[in-house]
Structure 1
Amino acid sequence: MRELIKESISDLKKSDGFVYVTAEGKKIDLHEAAAKGIAVTPVNPKDEVIKKLEAAGLFLLDGKFLNDLNELISLISGAGSSKGKSGKRRTFTDSEKNKIVEEWKKVEAAGKQTKAAFAREIGVGYQTFINWLRG
């Protein structure tokens, strides 16, 4: 799993946009393909990385999965809050906030939960969550 994650990071860092593949699925430099007259298809490397990670069971675009994974990491690292303990406040990155807001839009469209219940479920104060929605 660690190697898959490292490989995914490497794939995303080394590409400047699209990668190009031949009909056989082999990656090729666009200039080389043009010089040799080889037809290529542009492929977004993010899509390829997402497919590989999902095949391994890592659904990083699924907000609920991310929340569960973050909670697990928090509990293992000792940062998780439990009754009787006073913990540090959790800080969310802009990316995490955006993913949570996107997940809320799906939940809201399904009409399954109130904003307050959703905020409690993800471990965020109601007013903080409202501020993110206004963001």
Structure 2
Amino acid sequence: MRDLIKEAIADLKKNEGFIYVTSEGKKIDLHEAAARGIAVTPVNPKDNVIKKLESAGLYLTDGRFMNDLNELVSLINGSSSGKSGKRRTFTDAEKSKILEEWKKVEAAGKKTKAAFAREIGVGYQTFINWLRG
């Protein structure tokens, strides 16, 4: 299990943002595809990682599962409360990278703002506030 988690972390770190694939499923650089007039589909590398983790029984996109897992970890660590109350904060650089990715996804017309916000783990209103900048 530990190896699977380390592999998932490595996979996510080596892919900075979306990858683009042709209709045949081959990876291609977005600029190259545009220059050659090839239609591409943006693919979030997180999707493959999520599938691998779920096949091993780790449902990290399931809120109830994550609540149970967090409660278990806090109980093991001696915390009396199941919730830590801490929120994820993003640096300005992380926000900029996310907004750049949104521009690519928006240009492709594949997702709504709400779906994109859910996918990256940010509240919809928070994402809207970032867009308003």
TM-score by length of 1: 0.47
Largest Rg, 1 or 2 = 1
TM-score normalised to structure 2 length: 0.48
